[in-house]
Amino acid sequence: MTRASVVSVSRDDQHRFSKPAVDAIELVAGLGVAGDAHAGTTVQHRSRVARDPSQPNLRQVHLIHDELLDEVRAAGFEVGPGQLGENVTTHGVDLLGLPEGTVLRLGPEASVEVTGLRNPCLQIDGFEDGLLRQLVGRDADGAVVRKGGVMGVVLTGGRIVPGDEVVVELPAGEARALRPV
């Protein structure tokens, strides 16, 4: 059985589409990634701030599984860790299949509660034309399928580095499918 792990970590203090990979990130409980433009207790994404700046920040940390990056590269796109704006790139975890409220333990200290799906936007095609079609599609029943990763809030702070183990703790009770946040 393959151990689930962190492949890469990224942050950016500016509101840009991609985030540069770094050697380590520090998660801060209730805020997000130290030094990242999206850290805060209230919403930090510019379009959401314009609508209602008092909304709680359910998007403190963005996670993508590297298996998605492999899939996108197989379709002919050049995409690496951090380039889709994620803070944490994982391996061996079906992030999109997790229920709402799942806790991800990242490394020896940090934990993130999964709040929902990232809703991929048109900026993705600005990064590479046609890429949005790889991250948003429809299933056999015609329902929208979003594959741009998951968002979460920091429960427990701590340092995360590539190679750290990822432990999945499913919530008790009835599983609720992830929705866009």
Cα distances (Å, whole numbers) of residue 102 to 65, 153, 168 = 15, 11, 7
What are the structural domains of the chain? Answer: 5-169 (2.40.33.20)
> 50 vs 145, which has greater pLDDT?
145
Q: Which residues of 160-174 are buried (b: 16+ CB within 10 A; e: fewer)?
A: bebebebebeeeeee
- pLDDT band of residue 49 (cuts 50, 70, 90) is low
pLDDT digits (tens, 9 = 90+) for 81-101: 999 999 999 999 999 999 999
Average pLDDT estimate for 44-54: 76
Nearest to 149 by CA among 124, 170, 171: 124
CB atoms within 10 A of CB 120: 21
pLDDT digits (tens, 9 = 90+) for 119-170: 888 889 889 999 999 999 899 999 999 999 999 999 999 999 999 999 999 9
- Report helix, strand or coil for 51: helix
